[in-house]
Structure 1
């Protein structure tokens, strides 16, 4: 089963789950701070190609943002309560900063951002998902009401305000970005906004609406694909928390792009 079809099925019936924390009370940072760090790491992994190509800076503003976020990951990592997970997170944050400074290839950067997210997820407080999502038509209507000014009618980042914005709004159909973006990251961006961009927090939407938007825009890059004979063995927890690229690395049977 393709990722788009798996998402569509979840639009119809989504079971509630709780992600069990390993150190929810001992992390040393608040839940919001941990989620912001996850979002920063994922943002670097998705947007790094806009800053660096072939070992050269191609956008100084984007590169400065990569450096800023990498330093914040290091600084916040020092505030984590001492644990084996914290040691790993700090090491990956330093390795990520060093890779950015070397203008390393995107593949190397994404290894560090993925490991950072996994480490942060392992110590994050429990996350409860909604018992249901809006159906696909309601989710599409919500997108049209809330998002088209920047992201465009079809989600291609070409809304009427897009030309005025730097960085440009996300094109949700861009496959490489979608492969390295998690549904949790989308949900957090919708809920909290993204510092340094025009993406603001949608506090006017309830939790179900925000999750529905995350699933809707997260599926756009994978629409129109036919079914596989073999269905990927994914839990809802995996699908929400990890990007397709990470799932492909960890789960050989998961391959949304084949």
Structure 2
């Protein structure tokens, strides 16, 4: 979920897979979402979520982690949301390598359709030449190279690793969908037992830290589900924009 990746809906949106909605992305959010870790490997999984606003289901979202080769993975997100006359459909993907529990982004893509104009974004990490490229543009982004820099999905792998390791404050250098360099900052604020469509779950609460108090984003990560996000809240000026809740989870291995 960008939660933060995420890139959340700008008005009253929410992620989904069959149904639609009005604005932007999760991440998070677009909006923090799942991953699972065993030794130095990631465990492929598929997670499905209900997307709600004020208790009303507006659609659903899917996050899926796939292994492409020995050290290369793909984290994918799909949503299809509907709210009144507004619709929002999107697909988002991060291709990255993974060594020593560190993700290194190679390619990020985002495509949107719906009430708002259709858009397509691409960020390519040319690690050999230490350059960043936006969409299919010929010239690189004017930004200093930083090996630790992530896209708005790949950082979520690092976030879960850090939460699993017991860290309570985390910060990640990010290149967003527009090619802007930013910092995503988080803090663990406690634990909580919650009830979801998938059942009762023990969770760790993680809050995204913003420059001001206008925006709010909180994610609940569950050790039983490989420290994936099982619930997320996104708000602005104290008003709920959306809530997502886990309804199914399939992984190739059980949690530790």
So what's the TM-score if we normalise by structure 1? 0.24
Q: Which has the higher contact order (CA 8 A, sep 6+)?
A: 1
Q: Look at both structures and tell me which one has the larger radius of gyration over its CA atoms.
A: 1
Greater share of helix residues, 1 or 2?
1
Could you say which structure has the higher strand fraction? 2
TM-score (norm. length: structure 2): 0.24
